[in-house]
Structures are given as structure tokens and as C-alpha cells.
Structure 1
Amino acid sequence: MTLPEGAVRAVVFDLDGTLVDSAPDIAAALNEALTARGLGPLSVEQTRGLLGGGAATLVEGALHLTGGPAGLADTVLADYGDAYARTPVAATTVHADAHEALRELREAGVRTAVCTNKRSDLADRVLEGTGLAALFDIVVGIDDAPAAKPDPAHLRTVLDLLGVSARQTLYVGDTRVDALTAERLGVPYRHVAWGSPVPGATTVGGFAEVAEAALTSGLLAEAGRRSPAPPAARGGQRRTGSHTLPPTTLTSYQADPSHRSTDPPHRSTDPPHHPADPPHHPADPPHHPTDPPHHPPTGARTMHPTTDQDRAKWAAGKAAIDVYVHNGMKLGLGSGTTSHWFVRALGEAVSGGLDVVGVPTSTGTRDLAVQVGVPLTTLAEVDRLDLTVDGADEIDHQGAMIKGGGACLLWERIIADASARMVAVVDDTKLVRTLGAFPLPIEVVPYAWESTRRSVARLLARHGHPDVELPRRTEGGGPVVTDSGNFLLDAPLGAIKDPLALDAELNWIPGVVENGLFTGVADEMVIGSASGEYEIRNVSGAPSARPTVTNRGVAR
């Protein structure tokens, strides 16, 4: 679809308070950290008033309101971060019509992004948990930018990654921080009506008005009156170990919305780099509304990593193709961010002549495979698979994994068990000594799920995990529903003492369909690093909680 004359080419959104009401979850985590030191608690409304400047600013404001000493800031910040990371989307809801407006923008060929002062891995989890993740091309958090908003360098980073200028962009936010960020960069701004009042800002009553503003004329002229020189796109070759990556670009964007990535990259959690001087961006030639919309060359269907963690994931996925994949193979295609880098690399290999077919482990992976040109089949059409390549939310040194953060664990288990070999691809942050820091997903049938949850809680207590909260995973104000129509419980266990025993017993509970403990499933694991290097470990001798009954050879 061709963008209307005068329409912007990208819409960038703030996250907390703009797209989602995350204040209840943030308040719960903040109060856990405060009350442990005899401070607070703060109400949700008080917490909401502190949002917009990032976690450190949030904690500083909370200590001021509760009379806490400033010297507690670092400790409270660390405790708040731990508490919030456990359940960032338990009570978070999406503001009305966000999904519909984002789909309208993407169908029209407008690129979409998130610019947030939240840490990027947490932003990704919020977007995934609220069903918004597939509707954004990129997510740039505080750890991906040289400075936090309202420093315009944060938003500048987003525009550079999208390859658009300030005058081609609309920014949407809910606080004065957002308004200042847009003003300092010369980006047209719209302020959501449910945000904190900002005098002089153009307010929109809902996301339908955002889409209307983006897709009609006038914004480019508005930008022309206030915008500084737009940035130049970055270029140049980048070496990452043995892999040469092309210039950073979002080549997943094309006029046809079906050729756009459905998996926003997971961002690095490294601390941000603050250069002594702001980056210099030479000016682009000015954009004229009569110019045809910019699209990458036909056939460009993949995107390449822009952060250390994404480079590590790319390295692992690319290595899996180089080491294990050859012509004629039938492949299981995993789900999740690392697996999707594998699928993207596989698409490039297929375009270069590799002859393979794949069976996806989720509808998201299916859509991505179609997008990048990987031929697909089903387990109804093939008797067995040669290899499954899939990721993990955690993996220990023996190859035992926690999976299911993307709500695909049942299909992932079925595909892995139907394969002669399973290779786990992970970045080096996923390798742990003991499983359990990542909440264990447990897939349950909707019927009488509350009763199933009580049975799961009793079993966990017998395994040394008493009084564990088992929230049902939610998004957009309702329960997450898996591709098989089931619910998910998330068990924050901290450390799982006996993964084999727990894996063996959980699925005996009536109503439990599958759990995220994958013990003895991986034959080998590929661990990628940001340098582009990778390590392969053979874990085929690890014990399994349950024997295979399909095509994986001798039961082990």
C-alpha cells in the first residue's frame, strides 16, 4: 500500500502511561522495595505521577514522597528492579484501541517503534504480555540509547534505526518528558488525553486520532516549521567475529505489510554508554511530500542486529545453520527472539539456494518464516524432522531449559520430540547454573483452571516451594491464550532444586497440558556472544524426566 501524500512514515510511541497502564505493577514492585525499609506504601495514583523519567527517577521521587533518605536510593532501586522483573505484566492493561490503531498504521505501510525510559528487556516483556509486540518494528529502551528522555538523543536513536527524519515522524506520549523530547528534536507530537497535562501540547482523545493524524496531510508542514536538519542514515560494514553484518537497517519494512517483521528485537541489558559529546548527524537532503515513499529494494526481507544481545543471538542462529543445516533437511523452527534470528538467517540462506522445509512451533514463527521466504510443511505431511533449532528462556550447563516465555511451549515440545535432533540456540546471558530465576510457565486448560492452579501449588510445596504465587498470564486486560487455546500460569520459583522430578510430576496433574521444564531434550547447545563468536556444547548425555515415544531414537 502506498502512503498517502503528506502522511508520516513512522509513528513512535512512549510505553508506560501512553500505550499501557503499567502503574499497578510498578506500584506493587515499588511498594515491596519501600515497605521492606519501613517506607510507604504509595498509591497507584501517586506512582503514576512519578512515571516518565525511568526507574532511577521513579525511586528518587518515591523516597521524597515517603520521607526516605536519599542514601537508600541505590538499594531501593535494586530491590524495585528485582521485584518488577518478576511480574511486569500481572496487572498491566493496554489503553483502548491501541491494537486496532497500530494495525491500521502498519497496514498503511507506516513503521512503528517504542521509545521508552524503561529497560529494554522489561519493555519487551510488557509488549509481549500485552499482545503488542508483533505490532512494532523496533523497541529502544534506556539501555539502547546514549541518554534518557527528555534528552533528544534517545529519540534520535530511534529515528536513525528506522531510517527516517524528524519531519517524517510523529511522536506520541503522555508526560512533559515526552513533549520536551519531541520539541527538542523538532518531531511533531501528540499528547494522549489520559496523560498528565502539558500546556500547549496538541492532545488526542484516543489512538484512532493518532492514526488519523499520521495518515493525513499537515504533519509534514508542521514539522517543516520547527524541525532541525534531519539525520543521515548510518552506514558502513560491521565486523562481528566471523560474521560480516550489513549496515544497520530495518529491511523488514516493505510496502506490503505481510513482509514486515513480527518479532521486535530483544534489546541488550548492558548499561548505556554516555559519550562525552553528543553524536553529530549530518543533514539529509530535505524530504518533499511529492517524493515517492522510501522502501528497501525488493527482496530485502530480513533485519539485522543492532544491539550486543541481538548480535549474540544472531551469532548463535547463524552458527546453527553453518554447522547443522544442509540441503534436503526438514527442520523444526523454534519460537522466541533467538529462534527468530535463526529463522531470519535461514531465510537468507534459502534465498541463496539452500533447499529445506520447516515446521513452525508457533503462529508467530510461521508468519516470520513466510515473510523471509522459508518453505513450510506440517507434521501431518512429514513423518519426522531431521533437526529442531529452538531457543530457551534459561538453560543450565547440562542443557536443561526453561521455555515458554513466548507462550509456545506445547508446540515447541511436540516439534522437538518429533525431531531426530534438537539444538538449543541462546545468547550467553541465558546460561545459568541453576534454573528458576525465570518464572516457570505451566500451560493449563481453561476449564476449572483455578482448581488446577491449587493442585499445582500443592505439588510445588512438596518440592520445596511453598506459598508460591501462580498468576495467570494476562495481556490487554484478559488472559493470554496459547495457540492451542489454553491459559498459562507463571511460577516464580527462584531456584528449582530438582528439575527432573518436577518435570516428571507436573504433567500428571489433571488440567496441566505442558510445563516449561525441558530436561534432556537438547542434544547440543550453541551459545552466541556479541563479538560474533559462538561455543557449541554436547549435552546429549543429560538425563530426561520422560522418555520419548516418537522419532528421537532410543528412549533416554
Structure 2
Amino acid sequence: MFTQDEIKQQLGIYAADFIKNDMLIGLGTGTTVYYLLKELGKRKQQGLNFTAVCTSLQTQNILKEEGMNFISLDYVDRLQLAIDGADEVDENGSLIKGGGGALLQEKIVEAAADELIIIVDEKKNVKTLGAFPLPVEVITFGWKQVKQKIESAYNIKTRLREKDGKVYLTDHQHYILDCFFNTIPDPGQLNNDLHLMPGVVETGLFVDMANKIITGHSDGSITVRDI
């Protein structure tokens, strides 16, 4: 049996094979992607050359440490590939993302990619989304109004995200409401409806975006599912 970290490390090594010389790629954020970044750092030293657009300051800082090239999305028309993790993946390939707080930038970068590969451990694969709290990014002004509207509209509980005893701020100085839906049978509709609420910046629902789901299993095997 492989540990969670060993599974993530294997996924990082496996996913790195998709990145070829001179590619323009998007790199996600999170604990699984961390191992991908470390593997790419090794391959960079071995001669692999690529340029990345980062989905967070955290990822950008790791690329700096590893001596890898990165560029602003503003200087890019399209990305050939993006690789990221997810908090949940349903049977249709819809995702909940944003547990690490980078959902806004992740969605912008990954929408600019010709292909999106998601790397997850087997526990992230679910029949229906919703057991993982859905992150909804909101502006700081009037956030309580948004919180109340979401709770009232869907009869659910929400929680303002905190970190280290303080309200969590995203890279773009927004708040995140973690929403306890428990089940989300129609992610596309919910995503659209939440976007109609004034004050909502982005949701952690990534629908019709992933092209390939790569899953690491506790027995050490890796499976690939094309969406």
C-alpha cells in the first residue's frame, strides 16, 4: 500500500511526461501539483525547456526556486496544456477545485489551455460532487450579503474561510465562502446560478473543462480516463 504522499509523487512523475520541449503550459496549485513542480525542476536540469503560466503566487515561487521559466498570461494567446489537481471529480469529469484558494486564477489559466489534465488520488473520484465544500470566491465588500443569499437560496450552511486564525485572503484580495451543499447533481446549472449573484467573483465548479483525469491508486497503479 502506498501512502498519500507516495501516490502524489508518482502522479507528479507520470504527469511530467506530458510536458515536452518548448511547450507553453499552465501549472496548477496544491499538494499534488507540488510534486509535479519538483519533478519538472529535475527535468529542467536535465535539459527540458518549457515556459509556464502560474495559477498562484505559491506556484510561481516554487518555479523561481527551481529555476524554471514563467510568464504572465497577458503575453499569451493560448496554452498548449495545463495540469492541475482537484478536490473532487465526478463521473462526467466535472470538478470541485479551490481547496487551496487559487480557484479564480486556476479557472482563467485553464480556460486558456487547449488541454486540461487533472491529477488526483483515488479518493477524489466521486459519483456526484458536493461532499467537499464548494469554494465560492467573493469580493470583501458586502460578503455577508452574499453569504446570506447563498444560504437562503439553497438552504445550506456556508463558512467564511480562515487560515492561521485570520480571514483568508486570496492572491487577488478576495474572501472565500466554503459552501456545504453535500450533493451537487447539476454542477453546470449551479455554477451559472451562483454567477448571477452580485458579489460572486468565481466558483470552484469546473464544468466541461477537463480532458483527461489521471488517478493514482493505493496499490501503486495509475489509471487514465479521457473525458
Fold similarity call, TM over 0.5: yes
- Deviation of 1:375 after TM superposition, in Å, equals 1.2
Task: Deviation per CA, 1:68-90: give whole Å up to 9, x if none.
Answer: xxxxxxxxxxxxxxxxxxxxxxx
- CA–CA separation in structure 2 for the residues paired with 1:320 and 1:377: 21
Deviations along 1:446-474, one digit per CA (max 9) or x if unpaired, are: 01111111222233x2xxxx2x2211111
2:109 is aligned with 1:415: yes
Counterparts of 1:417 and 1:362 in 2: how far apart (Å)?
15
Instruction: Please give the alpha-carbon distance, in whole angstroms, between the structure 2 residues aligned to 1:512 and 1:365.
Output: 24
When structure 1 is superposed on structure 2, of 442-451 and 307-316 the one drifting more is 307-316
Matches within 5 A, 1:108-507: 308-322=3-17, 324-459=18-153, 461=154, 466=155, 468-507=156-195
Give the gaps of 5 or more residues in structure 2.
none
Distance in 1 of aligned mates of 2:140 and 2:203 = 15
Question: Residue 343 of structure 1 aligns to a residue in which SS?
Answer: helix
Contact 1:332–1:358 under 8 Å retained in 2: yes
Render the CA deviation track for 1:294-349: whole Å, top value 9, x for unaligned. Answer: xxxxxxxxxxxxx6111111222221222x21111011010011111111111111
Distance of 1:497 and 1:525 partners within structure 2: 20
**Deviation at 1:531?**
4.2
The 2-side partners of 1:374 and 1:361 are apart by 15
1:315 is paired with a residue whose SS is helix
CA distance in 1, matches of 2:20, 2:163: 39
* Bigger radius of gyration among the two: 1
Counterparts of 1:21-170 in structure 2 under 5 Å? none
- The 3-state SS of whatever aligns with 1:470 is strand
Per-residue CA deviations over 1:266-302 (Å, capped at 9, x if unaligned) read xxxx9xxxxxxxxxxxxxxxxxxxxxxxxxxxxxxxx
Displacement of 1:503 after TM fit?
Answer: 1.1
After TM superposition, the runs of 4+ consecutive aligned structure 1 residues lying more than 4 A away are none
Q: Which runs of 5+ in 1 are unaligned?
A: 1-269, 271-306, 540-556
Q: What is the alpha-carbon distance in structure 2 between the residues aligned to residue 454 and residue 499 of structure 1? A: 21
Greater RCO structure (CA 8 Å; 6+ sep): 2
Between the aligned partners of 2:125 and 2:67, the Cα distance in structure 1 is: 31
Alignment pair present for 1:537 and 2:225: yes
Shift, 1:530, TM fit: 3.9
Q: TM-score, normalised by structure 1?
A: 0.40
Residues 526 and 535, structure 1, Cα contact 8 Å, conserved in 2: yes
The residue type paired with residue 189 of structure 2 is A
Give the partner amino acid of 1:517. Answer: L
SS of the aligned residue for 1:357 comes to strand
Partner of 1:451: helix, strand, or coil?
helix
Q: Secondary structure in 2 aligned to 1:471?
A: strand
1:533 to partner: Cα distance: 2.5
- TM-score, structure 2 length as denominator? 0.95
Distance 1:476 1:308 in 2: 27
